[in-house]
Structure 1
């Protein structure tokens, strides 16, 4: 299993640091000489080469100019920006509100044939009702202190549910039973959300399974993650969205999904757990 959900980002940052280091060495420059040409302290060069500091666009331009490698500038800048996008803090993503992130997720779903989801902290967005989404996103906005565009963000999130009915899309979802029992909004909102889960279960595009609270664990509870086909994993932590694209790590998440699935019940077993959660609200 991945040792850290941000390990892909760090590995890519290290690879960029190696490229910059090789560029300096190929130019026959010491770290101090390159620093002098760039006009910054040698400690900055050291941090960049160790992958401890992410170089800005201007830093890369100065580095390439100092090494006489202007032809590599744009490629290195594009690489650095890709690394930066792997680990994105929610407050940064939500700096102008939450709607844009919801629209970006819609694009991911549109381009994926199979989306496998392990949901340990809430109902996946494409299954959410307006009431549940509003209660959840209102709390997230308050917690993060980011601009309030909850109404627009909810509309964008709910629009994602169209992929359950349109195109050749398939959704395989593993829910921890805790998600069914954790009340988001009031009892009426939660009951409506659970009833909606029952209504989408018969869809041909949906495979919804539940991991019972009492199931013997063959793998520990993990952060929620979305596996888009076998090419991209999005991991959701408290503070950040992690984008994993390394094949080795994608394979790890796929294996984790299979292991989690071994503990789950589906069909009538999953329906009974949802109905039990509804009954508990009464």
Structure 2
């Protein structure tokens, strides 16, 4: 299908590509502390080439080498880069105060979630309740359809992005026709209602309520959500939380678009 074709890249810089692959690998929990051999094997790299790139990354504080364990981890300068990127890209000066309000009102963990690839989302920012907040790591990746936050982003995706995901995702391709129909109907309901719910789905015992954040083109790459334990609420008791999320997502959307118009 024509829509599934990806544009051909004109230029390729192997060392840059390999460096990014190494950084991405070390960001995964399974490989967060890895030896040279583990990294080279996981990425099918020549060990000498892998070592040279790791040395350069280490010199820039992008990765750090632990002499005692002989393992590499992500370096401290990525923290600086990550904070700068979040500040510039996600209007956190606007959104973070709303996450704090959501947590205060609900007593639940509040999240800002972004689409980062054609089929993935990641946690960009969070505020956890001191007593009952669900613990979740910033930077954790999920499948695009995982959680209420992913459903919100998927429900507002354009047709080309939707077709690409539905034609390439193993999760969708392995679904039955009945499951696929139910999923499409659920996404239509999410867009109609302006919010999504997941209950005991992606992570057992956890529920989530999310609403989209629209940019000036009415495009959705971000959603805000609260997550909690199913033991705290039944599905039929979630309406007050839905009201909070939809109210604040609307306010965030307004404030972000107002800022862009003033630029």
TM range (shorter): under 0.3
Structure with bigger strand share is 2
| TM-score normalized with structure 1 length | 0.25
Decide which structure has the larger Cα Rg and report it: 1
> Larger RCO: Structure 1 or Structure 2 (Cα < 8 Å, ≥ 6 residues apart)?
1
